[in-house]
C-alpha cells in the first residue's frame, strides 16, 4: 500500500479503469471473467457507483492487487466526499455583515469555503472589526492569516507583458 498516500481520494473506479487500460484488458471481457455485469463495472469506472467488498475482492484477485486495496480507496474517496459536503455547510452569521460589504453578490449564495480568498480579501479591505471577527470565527485565525499572506503575495507580483514591444 506504498502508493496509497498518492491515491487518497481517488475513486476506485478511476484506478480500475486505468489499470485495465494499462493491461490492455477490455472492460466488458474483464467484467464477464469475474462474473459481473459489464454495466456494473462501467458505472463504477465512471464514478457513478461505489465499489462493494465482494466485487473488490474478485477484482483484486483477478488483477493480482493487494487484498483490501480497492475498498481502502473507496473509504478514502468517501471521506473526501464527506469533507467536501461538510465544507459546503460552513456559513457565517450574515447578521454580522453590513449589506453593503457584498454589494455585488448575493451573500446567501456565496460558497464560503470555495470563495474564501475573495471573502477574506473583501472583508479585510472594507469590513469593520466585527465583520473581521466573524471571519476569524468562521475560518479560524490560521486560515485567515494564510489567505491574507497569499493575497499580499499575489498583489506584489507584477503583471507579465506577453506582447513584445516593437521599437
Measured CA to CA in angstroms, residue 136 lies from 118, 127, 130, 141, 146 at distances of 15, 13, 10, 5, 12
Residue with cell 473507496: 74
Nearest CA-CA partner of 36 in 62, 18, 66, 12 = 62
Q: Which domains does the chain have, with CATH numbers?
A: 4-86 (1.10.260.40), 94-156 (no CATH)
* Residues of the chain falling short of pLDDT 50: 1, 167
Q: What is the pLDDT of residue 159?
A: 59
- The cell numbers describing 100, all together, are 453593503
The pLDDT of residue 157: 72
Q: What is the pLDDT of residue 3?
A: 73
- HSE (side-chain half, CA atoms, 13 Å) at 17: 14
Q: Do 19 and 26 form a contact (C-beta atoms < 8 A)?
A: no
* CA dihedral sign of residues 28, 29, 30, 32: positive
Residue 28: the pLDDT is 97
Position 167 scores a pLDDT of 46
Amino acid at each position: 500500500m506504498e502508493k496509497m498516500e498518492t491515491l487518497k481520494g481517488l475513486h476506485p473506479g478511476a484506478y480500475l479503469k486505468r489499470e485495465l487500460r494499462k493491461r490492455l484488458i477490455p472492460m466488458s471481457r474483464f467484467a464477464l471473467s469475474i462474473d459481473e455485469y459489464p454495466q456494473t463495472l462501467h458505472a463504477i469506472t465512471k464514478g457513478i457507483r461505489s465499489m462493494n467488498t465482494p466485487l473488490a475482492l474478485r477484482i483484486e484477485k483477478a488483477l493480482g492487487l493487494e487484498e483490501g486495496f480497492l475498498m481502502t480507496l473507496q473509504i478514502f474517496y468517501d471521506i473526501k466526499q464527506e469533507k467536501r459536503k461538510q465544507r459546503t455547510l460552513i456559513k457565517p452569521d450574515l447578521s454580522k455583515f453590513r449589506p453593503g460589504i457584498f454589494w455585488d453578490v448575493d451573500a446567501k449564495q456565496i460558497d464560503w469555503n470555495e470563495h474564501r480568498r475573495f471573502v477574506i480579501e473583501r472583508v479585510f479591505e472594507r469590513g469593520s472589526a466585527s465583520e473581521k471577527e466573524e471571519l476569524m470565527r468562521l475560518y479560524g485565525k490560521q486560515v485567515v492569516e494564510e489567505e491574507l499572506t497569499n493575497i499580499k503575495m499575489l498583489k506584489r507580483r507584477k503583471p507579465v507583458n506577453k506582447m513584445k514591444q516593437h521599437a
